[in-house]
Structure formats: structure tokens, C-alpha cells
Structure 1
Amino acid sequence: MNEFKPPVLLRDQMRADLIEAYLARDISLADAAESMELSRRQCRRLVKRYREAGPEGLINRRRGKPSNCQLKDNLKAQVIKLIRTRCRGMSPTGAWRLLNAGFGLSISKETVRKLMIAENTWVAHPRNTPG
């Protein structure tokens, strides 16, 4: 059976080396955690995963998967349809107010702005810089 094995990144390799040094008692847990810029508790969790699964256990389990913070496809399609039809010519803030108050859609201003830029319904203007 072919299982997908994500590539080991430099950070993952560094973590594996530090954990191996800790297990060989060359460095303390506190030193390993400080080198990895993690708490000692998190470092203990990584050591446990390393003992159970080896270097592959250090790889983030979310790697290669979509973010949990994405809009659902049906909500995104609904928002884009409303932006194209009802929010034409509006700024992202105005469109956001209409979507929240008028249609009861709970979505952030920044998300509305990004969708409007992606759909070419609004163009971001560069700020005037003094000087």
C-alpha cells in the first residue's frame, strides 16, 4: 500500500536532531525546548510522538490539508453572487455592512475585501505616502 509521506523539512530535521540529543542525554529538555522555541510541555509532547512514530511523528499532521478557517463553498458562492448583484460599486466596508445587516451573513470585512478583489468588483488603491 502506498502511503503518502510528506517531505521532511529543515525545521523537522532540526527538531529530530535536538530530540535525539535529548534522548542521548547530551542536552536537557529545557535546552532542547529553548532551541526549538517551544515550551517544555510542547517539547515533551514532541518527544513522545518521536518515540511512537520516529521522525515522521514530528511532521505537522495538518500539512497538505486545507485550513479550518476557510469559508464553506456554498456561503462563498452566495456572498460572491450578492457582491456581484447587490453590492456593485460599493466599497468593501459598505458591502460588508449590507451583507451583515441586510442579508444576515456573518462574514468579516477583510474576507469581503479579499473576495471583491478576487472577483474584480473592487480595486484596492495604493495609499498616498508622504514625502
Structure 2
Amino acid sequence: MNGRGFITISMHELERVKIIEAVVQHRLTIVLAAERLQLCERQVSRLVRRYEAAGPAGLVSARRGQPSNRELPVDLRARAMALVRERYADFGPTLACEKLAECHGVVLAKETVRRWMREAGLWIPRKQRPPKLHQPRNRRACLGETGADRRQ
């Protein structure tokens, strides 16, 4: 909920609210609601209890706005990116990741380093790089090819 008492709800959760509300008003059975929501009957009855206790806000995900359980610590990211900026700014993500682990003991996945380098602007994926322009040059003359031979 925000300061004014409004709740942010996704379309999936809105559909869930409508179905659970129908169960509370006895317009729909728990069995049919479970089929429509693709949940078991026990889970639907738990949702009904949460709806009766807290209203529509009870059906909204409690994890919304919270950081992921798998998120790496902010200080680790800051330390790794400081080392990359200072020593390995011209390296690719894979080599930078190997050097961080080998020389500094900072063990990260190469895809994590790739994402962090891309977000920091230290690395641009190949597909997003501008194409390299090459100077065109004339073909070399081959044996037997001269200007006089072509005219005949």
C-alpha cells in the first residue's frame, strides 16, 4: 500500500481478487475457483481467509518492492566494479571475471560481471557496437589482365 491507501495490483492478481470475491459471496464454489486459478482447493481456502481478513490487499504479493533473496551484497558489487574500473576497464567480462577471482579473490559469475559492466558503461555487447568501416581498395591486377587485353 502507498500513503493514500491505494494498492498496486497486477492483472493476474486482479483476476484472482474477482474469483476469490465470488467465492466469498457464494457465487462460486472453492472447487471451481481452484480450477480457474489452477490452484489446489486448500490454497484457495487460504486465499479466502486472507481476503476476509485483509481485503484485496491480502491477495497482493507480500514480496513486492523487496529485494531478491539471491541478490548479491551492494558492497561486493561496488568493490568489484571499482577494481574493474581501476585495473580491467579495457578487458572483456570473461577475462575481467577471471582476473577478479585470480588476483583479488572476488568470485562472481561471468554473466554477473557482464551485466554489471554493461550497466556501468564499461562494455558494449558486439551486436550493439557500431560496425567497423574499412577503407575500400581496388582489386589487384591478375596475370594477363591489362587495360589493352580487355578492349579486344
Q: Normalising by structure 1, report the TM-score.
A: 0.77
Residues 21 and 4 (structure 1), Cα distance of their counterparts in 2 relative to 1, 3 Å cut? closer
* Distance in 2 of aligned mates of 1:126 and 1:115: 18
Moved over 4 A (4+): none
Partner residue of 1:92?
Answer: 93
Q: Offset at 1:124?
A: 0.4
In the alignment, structure 1 segments of 5+ residues that lack a partner are none
* Distance in 2 of aligned mates of 1:43 and 1:103: 51
Task: State how 1:12-91 maps to structure 2 within 5 Å.
Answer: 12-91=13-92
Partner residue of 1:102?
Answer: 103
Q: Deviations over 1:72-107 (max 9, x none)?
A: 221111011111122232221111222233322232
Would you say how many aligned residue pairs link Structure 1 and Structure 2? Answer: 126
- The one-letter code of the counterpart of 1:121 is L
- The one-letter code of the counterpart of 1:59 is V
* Distance in 2 of aligned mates of 1:100 and 1:4: 48
- The one-letter code of the counterpart of 1:62 is R
Higher relative contact order (CA 8 A, sep 6+): 1
- The one-letter code of the counterpart of 1:60 is S
Residues 31 and 71 (structure 1), Cα distance of their counterparts in 2 relative to 1, 3 Å cut? same
Which range moves more in the overlay, 115-124 or 15-24?
15-24
Compare CA radii of gyration and give the structure with the larger one: 2
Root-mean-square deviation (Å): 2.5
Residues 53 and 121 (structure 1), Cα distance of their counterparts in 2 relative to 1, 3 Å cut? same
CA contact (8 A) 2:17 2:59 kept: yes
Q: Normalising by structure 2, report the TM-score.
A: 0.68
Q: Offset at 1:36?
A: 2.3
